[in-house]
Amino acid sequence: MKSLLFRAKQGIAIFSLIKNLSYLDYLLFFLILSAILLRLVNLDYNSAFNDEAIYIVIGRMGLFASDWLSYGAKLWMAGLPYIYPTISALAFETAGIEGARLLNVIFGIILIEEVYQLTLLLNLFDTKTNKIAATIALFLSGFSAAGIFVSKLATYDMLSFLLLICAITSFLKARHFNNGKYYFLTFISIFTSFLTKVVAGIYFAPLFLISIFIIKNRSVKQKKLSIYYLYIPLIICMSVYGLLNSNNLLTFVTTHKDQGITTNYLTIIQIIIKTSGLSFLFLIPGSAILIKYKKTKQVLGLIVLSMVIPVFHLVLRRYATLDKHMYLSDIFLSVVIAYAVSLFFRKKIYRFLFKNRIIFIPYKIQLQKMITSFVFFILAIFYVWHSALISSQLEHQWKNTKEVGYFLSERIHPGDKLLTENGGAIILILYDKLFPPTDIVTFDWINYSGISSETAYEQAIKDGYFNYIELDNEYEENEEFMLNLREAMIENYQLIYSQNNFEIYEKKES
């Protein structure tokens, strides 16, 4: 009897909760569900991207073979190999590449919820306007082209982005508490974001300056808490990290400074427009509306944060990974645009447009609302369609190595030596067939007979060191080098596979 009464009370409580939900709550649930479904569709869209594959390989070797050294990950990875690669490897062991990508889908959904919280915590206007803005920001960030792409890609970007946004929301929450726990959570989040991907460090300077402007308006106790629980721990940990990893960081910077460089800015600008062009387009009227309502400081802060990534890549003339990094710009832009759109309806800005004949429609309020709502609905549909189209293009920008990888896995035997142009993707496919990793050589680095220059590849081929050589005809760094390799292959190797520009050569029998 007591059990029945308890269940009845539970039912009444749930019914009361559902009854009290507003249309914005239902819309929020619908948007989150739609974002989840969009990301879950076709997680097997392509073979593993090189970065996806090598992180999984590093994680598997470290976790299951206690080998963190073979590929020298600390020297070239833009983050610690113990964080994302380990959990990505566990997800891969559970459900393959789809499992590793599903992990990032989960991170991506949590991230857009954090964007929702970030917008609410900014608290620029009344409760209703803030909630409308937060819902729109969730929509814009959740259906961003770069956001969809990076959420379905098993790289450390999404986890690092999530931790970075969590750090900002924690800092904003801290003012409501007097025990410093959220300042400490800010420290943990932002430092872990940096450890996961060092590129997060480029946000340290602007975030520090913005935090100082915010802190100066808080109480003396809040200022002390921020110093003890946020700034001092962060300075100490960054100093220790710098001392312990100075050589690795120097090697990383020197080996990455020329990667992905283009001789002009056109390619970089094209990627920015392709991934975030719509957001930057709506930023202009959005900023104007917020400035009109005297939110200049907040708008400038968000614009600065949104410009960190584009400026970073433009200054270094670097386009590598820009398509993924642009998601951070989309997030901060979405907050500005979301608040502007919410004000458009809440403050009846649309009345001004109609009344002053900026839009030539008879002055009827209900008709104005219907037309304005319809226009925004069409824009929302176009935004989703455009984002899905761009993300699909991004998902297919690298070659599918499944078929060539399976062909190799059927021919190759333990102990064979392989030279591959597709690096991590082939290593992952052959991981259980060809081990240890030194049996697979990529065009990134070689050590043959004490030689590690390009000459080592030519000498190894002339000596018949490799049993198989896999090429995809896209090695663009040194055309002359590839011609010399092909000339060296004539005597000892024969073509056994040629399809979709992939070629596999087998060592001739003596």
How many structural domains comprise the chain?
2
Mark whether 483 and 412 lie in a shared domain.
yes
Let me know if residue 14 belongs to a domain.
no
DSSP letters, 146-207, are: HHHHHHTS-STHHHHHHHHHHHHHHHHHGGG-SSSHHHHHHHHHHHHHHHH-GGGGGGHHHH
Separation CA 335–CA 347 (nearest Å): 18
Let me know if residue 27 belongs to a domain.
yes
Q: What is the pLDDT of residues 296-320, one digit of tens each?
A: 999 999 999 999 999 998 888 888 8
pLDDT of residue 374 exceeding 90? no
Q: Which of 510, 436, 424, 502 is closest to 469 using CA atoms?
A: 502
Let me know if residue 3 belongs to a domain.
no
Let me know if residue 15 belongs to a domain.
no
Mark whether 417 and 269 lie in a shared domain.
no
| Per-residue pLDDT band at 345 (split at 50, 70, 90) | confident
- Rounded to two decimals, what is the model's pTM? 0.89
Mark whether 172 and 259 lie in a shared domain.
yes
Output the average pLDDT for the chain.
Answer: 87
Mark whether 290 and 337 lie in a shared domain.
yes
181-209 mean pLDDT: 95
Which tokens sit at 123? 């608290």
Residue 469 pairs with which residues in a beta bridge?
Answer: 419, 505
Higher pLDDT, 192 or 10: 192
Mark whether 231 and 199 lie in a shared domain.
yes
pLDDT of residue 360 exceeding 50? no
Mark whether 300 and 359 lie in a shared domain.
yes
Q: What is the pLDDT of residues 281-297, one digit of tens each?
A: 999 999 998 998 899 99
Mark whether 453 and 307 lie in a shared domain.
no
Alpha helices, DSSP H, located in 67-155: 73-76, 84-122, 127-142, 145-151
Higher pLDDT, 361 or 39: 39
Mark whether 30 and 102 lie in a shared domain.
yes
Using an 8 Å Cβ cutoff, are 427 and 437 in contact? yes
42-56 mean pLDDT: 93
Domain containing 491: what range?
A: 402-507
Let me know if residue 12 belongs to a domain.
no
373-378 mean pLDDT: 84
pLDDT of residue 8 exceeding 70? no
pLDDT of residue 191 exceeding 70? yes
Mark whether 381 and 416 lie in a shared domain.
no
pLDDT of residue 334 exceeding 60? yes
| Per-residue pLDDT band at 423 (split at 50, 70, 90) | confident
Last residue of a domain, one of 395, 421, 449: 395
Which residues are within 8 A (CB) of 501 and not within 5 positions of it... i.e. 6 or more apart?
399, 472, 473, 474
Mark whether 302 and 447 lie in a shared domain.
no
Higher pLDDT, 315 or 29: 29
pLDDT score, position 109: 97
Q: What's the full length of the chain, in residues? A: 510
Which tokens sit at 479? 């055309």
Q: Exposed, middle or buried by CB within 10 Å (0-12, 13-18, 19+), for 168?
A: buried
Using an 8 Å Cβ cutoff, are 371 and 344 in contact? no
Let me know if residue 214 belongs to a domain.
yes
Let me know if residue 101 belongs to a domain.
yes
Mark whether 346 and 440 lie in a shared domain.
no
pLDDT of residue 263 exceeding 70? no
pLDDT of residue 164 exceeding 90? yes
Last residue of a domain, one of 395, 410, 437: 395
Mark whether 378 and 425 lie in a shared domain.
no
pLDDT score, position 506: 93
| Per-residue pLDDT band at 3 (split at 50, 70, 90) | low
Q: Exposed, middle or buried by CB within 10 Å (0-12, 13-18, 19+), for 327?
A: buried
| Per-residue pLDDT band at 455 (split at 50, 70, 90) | confident
pLDDT of residue 328 exceeding 50? yes
Last residue of a domain, one of 395, 425, 446: 395
Alpha helices, DSSP H, located in 400-505: 402-411, 423-429, 454-462, 479-492
Residue 497: enclosing H or E segment and its boundaries?
strand 493-499
CB neighbours (10 Å) of residue 96?
15
Which tokens sit at 222? 């809040």
Q: What is the pLDDT of residues 438-452, one digit of tens each?
A: 788 888 888 888 887
Separation CA 498–CA 503 (nearest Å): 5
Using an 8 Å Cβ cutoff, are 493 and 510 in contact? no
Separation CA 440–CA 419 (nearest Å): 6
Phi-psi domain of 435 (left: phi exceeds 0; alpha: psi -120 through 50; beta: other): beta
Let me know if residue 13 belongs to a domain.
no
pLDDT score, position 497: 94
| Per-residue pLDDT band at 476 (split at 50, 70, 90) | low
